Amino acid sequence: MPFDNENTYIKMVEKHQETEFHKKYEEALKLVTKYFEMEYPNLVVEKIYEKDKLEHVSPLDGKTKVGTFQMSSKETSEKAAKIASENYRKWFNIGYVERSRIFLKAADILSQRKFEFSAILSYENGKNRYEAMGDVDEAIDFMRYYALQLIENEGFIKFTGTAYYGEDSKSVMKPYGLFLVVAPFNFFSITVGMTSGPLIVGNSVILKPSSDIPLSSYKFVELMHEAGVPKENLIYLSGSGGRVGRTLYTNELVEGVVFTGSREIGMKIFREAQEKRPKVMVTEMGGKDTIIVTSKCDIDKAAEGVARSAFGYSGQKCSACSLALIDEKIYDEFKEKLVAFSKKLSVDDPRKKDTFTGPVINKEAYDKFINIMSTVKKEKILLGGDVKKMDGFYAENTILDNVEDPNIERVELFLPILAIKPMKSLEESVKFVNSMDYGLTGGIFSEDKNEIDYYFENIDVGVIYANRRRGGSTGAMVGSQPFVGWKMSGTTGKGTGSFYYLQQFLREQAQTIVRA
């Protein structure tokens, strides 16, 4: 079967089913409340309840209790590692075709329940309906794409010929054993993709979800078990990264770690996990995503592309534009149009149909926004700059004019804060971007092919776009736009949703048989 992106909303609009989309979503918003205020166990073959608990409250209002989850103990974590490590060979030995079949079945189940999962995300991490559905769609895409890649590559088994007379040799890619997945809050699809990669090729996986999206992650693991993944091979453990994560990533039975999150935590795991011996480390550690706007751009297109990239999901995407470098010849005109367009992007309860930007994820992010803005001079604030006076954790979409503060210009903020800066030339802008520690996503707006070519040839960034109005540095699609970080943004140089991704979780074995 050929791979096709799920793209629910776009496809329903094309079929004149937009009204049906909204009806199904709003029905799901009511349906999923039945899952709230319940206690959810760890899933370590059996259900395990711990002494210590975690309460998750929705950022929509700061009041709605999504659920109670377990703070995994050291004993439970070590038990999980032992079970998962001992049983990975059984999962690998069912063969790549059967594992792929199970993943395709799981993708179909998730597709049937996608409105339910997207509604959970709106409550759980505050995504509007379009972004929540896009997130679930991407999760489905990851499962299908990796399954089809595994089949297309015949399980990564390749005959390598005869070195000496009478010998037959082949290369067989085999799993390491057990991977720990430490997932972020901002994308359910990242949780699914990070889990799917090592699991589908035959490893066992322990998923330690973000404490800000524990319910959707729990439901995902349940779904995978329903589809046929053995409970011994996919384990769910909730809890804090410092307590649960460290117990596991330093455990001798854990062969590799898949991490998405902050640079600080990513580097801590990278160092400590390998203190005793090498382990596979697949990490994505964010970005300082910058869009360059040249004097040869379509200014309306550029203003929209920058704003959508900066303020989609409250700037809480590792691909969100938080810095825009604008040719000084058009700086004032661009600034005016950027502010005008950004004012149209409503900040409100994401359950509402017309909301573009919802809340930030939690009180910590809310307070961080307040603290950052307390350092900015009022005359530098072109738009926003304050929190919203409403229940929940809402911050205004904020544009800052040439702040020249490295703590804003060069640090990942993960908030709806966009800094803009005048530049003399494209060459100067590219040099500025390349001087960054990060290299995740970026973009350019220019109608000049030579400028675009120069940008593509010289920028040290993993994912780049030219003239993308829907989001100048955001929105990579599985299969066609691998999502990969350079420099401090990642450790492997190979992207998710890519034909290179799965081999990172396999090790090569050369096998030779001598004929009698």
Query: Cα–Cα distance between 207 and 136 in angstroms, integer?
Result: 18
d(CA 332, CA 292): 15
Task: Please report where in the chains the tokens 């919802």 appear, as a residue.
Answer: 358
Q: Where are the alpha helices (DSSP H) in 387-448?
A: 406-409, 426-434
Distance CA 318, CA 373 (A): 21
Q: How far is CA 130 from CA 10, 123, 167, 318, 384, in A?
A: 10, 14, 57, 18, 23
| Contact partners, residue 154, CB within 8 Å, separation at least 6 | 96
**Residue 433 buriedness (CB in 10 A; 0-12 / 13-18 / 19+):** buried
Instruction: Give the H/E segment covering residue 486.
Output: strand 486-487
- Tell me how far apart the alpha carbons of residues 172 and 159 are, in angstroms, rounded to a whole number: 9
Q: Are 40 and 50 in contact (CB under 8 A)?
A: no
Residue 515 burial (10 A CB sphere; 0-12, 13-18, 19+): exposed
- What distance in Å separates the CA atoms of residue 196 and residue 144, rounded to the nearest whole number? 10
Q: One of 232, 255, 284, 412 is an active-site residue; which one?
A: 284
Task: Report CA torsion sign: 362, 365, 366, 367.
Answer: positive
Crossing angle of helices 114-125/129-152, nearest 10°? 120
Rg (CA), the chain: 23
Residues making up the chain, counted from first to last? 516
Instruction: From the candidates 138, 232, 318, 396, give the one annotated as an active-site residue.
Output: 318
User: Which amino acid, residue 293?
Assistant: V
Q: Are 202 and 174 in contact (CB under 8 A)?
A: yes
Active site residue 26: no
DSSP code for 202 = T
Question: Has 131 been annotated as catalytic?
Answer: no
Q: Which two tokens stand for residue 217?
A: 């992650």
Give the residue numbers annotated as catalytic, written as ranges: 284, 318
